[in-house]
Structure 1
Amino acid sequence: MNMWSNREALLEKIRAQMHDKRYQHTLGVAASAKQLAERFGADPEKAELAGFLHDYCKCWPVEKMLEILVRHDMPTELLEGEKELWHAFAAAIVIQTELGVTDTEILQAVRYHTTGRAGMSMLEKVVCVADYIEPNRNYPGVEEIRTLAQHDLDAALAHALGGTIRFLIEKQKTVFPLTLIAYNDLVSQKGRAGGFNG
C-alpha cells in the first residue's frame, strides 16, 4: 500500500492526533489486528493499517467531530446517540479526505470498529476484536475474549459485543442499533452453522 511508503511519517501523523496512552493502545490494536488477520485469513497489511488508523479522531474535541459528521450527512441516530461512537465514523471520513485512504475495506473496518454491523467482513471483525483484546486492555472478561480469539473470531466478537450491550444496559445508556444488529447477526449465523467452535 502506498501509505506505507513512509511508515514513520504516517505514524508520527497518527501520534500527533492523540495522547501517549491512546497511541500505545493504537500500536497494540495494530499488532493484534495483524496477528488475528494472519490467524483467520484477512489481509495482515490492511489489518495493521486499519489498526493504526482506527482511533485517528478519538482525542479530537467532540465539536470538531460533530462538524465533520454533519457535513457528511451522518444519520440522526448517530448524531443523537452516544458521543463515544463518533470518533470511528469521523475517522473513516478524515483518513479518506486528509490521508488519501481509498481502500473500502480499511474505511469500513475503521467506521464500524466500535459499533459493528450486520454482515461484517473478516477485516472488520479482526479490527473490532483487536480493539477489545490488545495487550493494554484490562477489564473484566477480556481474558475470555482473548481465549476465544485464539480459535473462533465470531465467538470472540459476539462475546465482546454482548459484554458491551450488557454494560450499556446496566449504566442505563442507549445501545446503538448497529451493535444489537451485529450481535444478532453473529448469533443467528452461529445457530445456522451449529454453534461457535469450541
Structure 2
Amino acid sequence: MTGGHTRAELLALLHNRLDDARYAHCVRVEQTARELARRFGADEARAGLAGLFHDYAKQVPVETYRTLIQRQGFDRALLNYSRGVWHGLVGTWFIKTEVGITDPAVIQAIERHTTGDPEMTVLDQIIFVADFIEPARDLPVEAKCREAAQTSLTEATRIELENTLTYLIAKRQIVYPKTLLTYNAFLTKE
C-alpha cells in the first residue's frame, strides 16, 4: 500500500515535493483522517496514507499539468480548470509514478478530494472533510464542519460542498460539473 516505502521515506518524498507549510498541512490532514477513520469505522492506514499524500501534487507547475493532461490521455476538458482541480484528479499520476502508491481506494480518495463524487465512499469523504477541518483551519465554516464531523460524515461533507460552491460562485470561477452533481446527491443522503 505504501509503495514499499518506510514512513520516513514517505515523509521525505512528500517534503521534497512541497514547501514547509504545505507539508505541515499534509501531516495534519493525515492525523485528522486517522481520527475520522477511527470514528467512522474506516481503514485507518488507508485514511492516513491518503491524507498524507492528498496534496502531493499541489505545487506542480501549471505548465507541467497542461502537458501531462495533453500527453497522458486525460480528458482534455480538464484544461478548462486549474491546479485546484488538477492536483486531485491528475495529481495521482505523480503519486503512482514517483512514489509507487497504487492502492485503488487511496488513489480514488485523493482524486475525489478536490471535486467530490456523487458516489463517494466513507474513505473518500474522510479525506474530503479532513482536508477542510484539519486543526490549523479556523474559519467559522470550518469549525461548523468540524463540529458536524463529530457525529455525521455526510453532514460534514455537505457543509464543505456548500462552502466550495459558495466560494467558487462568489469568485465567478467555473464549477467542475461533478462537484455540483455531488452536492445534489448529498442533499438527499442521510
- Confirm or deny a common fold (TM above 0.5): yes
Between the two proteins, the alignment pairs up a number of residues equal to 190
Letter in 2 for 1:58: K
179-188 or 78-87: which moved more?
78-87
Contact 2:69 2:78 in 1 (8 A): no
Match of 2:123 in 1: 123
Letter in 2 for 1:19: D
Note closer, same or farther for the CA distance 1:121–1:68 as it changes in structure 2 (3 Å cut): same
Distance 1:72 1:161 in 2: 29
Matches within 5 A, 1:1-198: 1-3=1-3, 5-190=5-190
Contact 1:128 1:157 in 2 (8 A): yes
Letter in 1 for 2:83: K
Distance 1:13 1:86 in 2: 20
Letter in 2 for 1:15: H
Letter in 2 for 1:163: N
Letter in 2 for 1:66: R
Contact 1:34 1:44 in 2 (8 A): yes
SS in 1 for 2:73: coil
Using structure 1 for the length normalisation, give the TM-score.
Answer: 0.91
19-28 or 135-144: which moved more?
135-144
Note closer, same or farther for the CA distance 1:34–1:173 as it changes in structure 2 (3 Å cut): same
Letter in 1 for 2:123: L
Letter in 2 for 1:150: Q
TM-superposed CA distance for 1:167, in Å, is: 1.1
TM-superposed CA distance for 1:170, in Å, is: 1.1
The CA RMSD measured in Å over matched residues stands at 1.4
Contact 2:4 2:100 in 1 (8 A): no
Note closer, same or farther for the CA distance 1:165–1:2 as it changes in structure 2 (3 Å cut): closer
Give unmatched runs, 5+ long, in structure 1.
191-198
Distance 1:112 1:165 in 2: 15
Distance 2:155 2:31 in 1: 20
Letter in 1 for 2:139: Y
Contact 1:53 1:91 in 2 (8 A): no
Runs ≥4 residues deviating over 6 A: none
Letter in 1 for 2:106: I
Distance 2:137 2:71 in 1: 33
Note closer, same or farther for the CA distance 1:21–1:167 as it changes in structure 2 (3 Å cut): same
Contact 1:69 1:89 in 2 (8 A): no
Using structure 2 for the length normalisation, give the TM-score.
Answer: 0.94
Distance 1:83 1:96 in 2: 18
Contact 1:30 1:50 in 2 (8 A): yes
Contact 1:62 1:83 in 2 (8 A): yes
SS in 2 for 1:101: coil
Give unmatched runs, 5+ long, in structure 2.
none
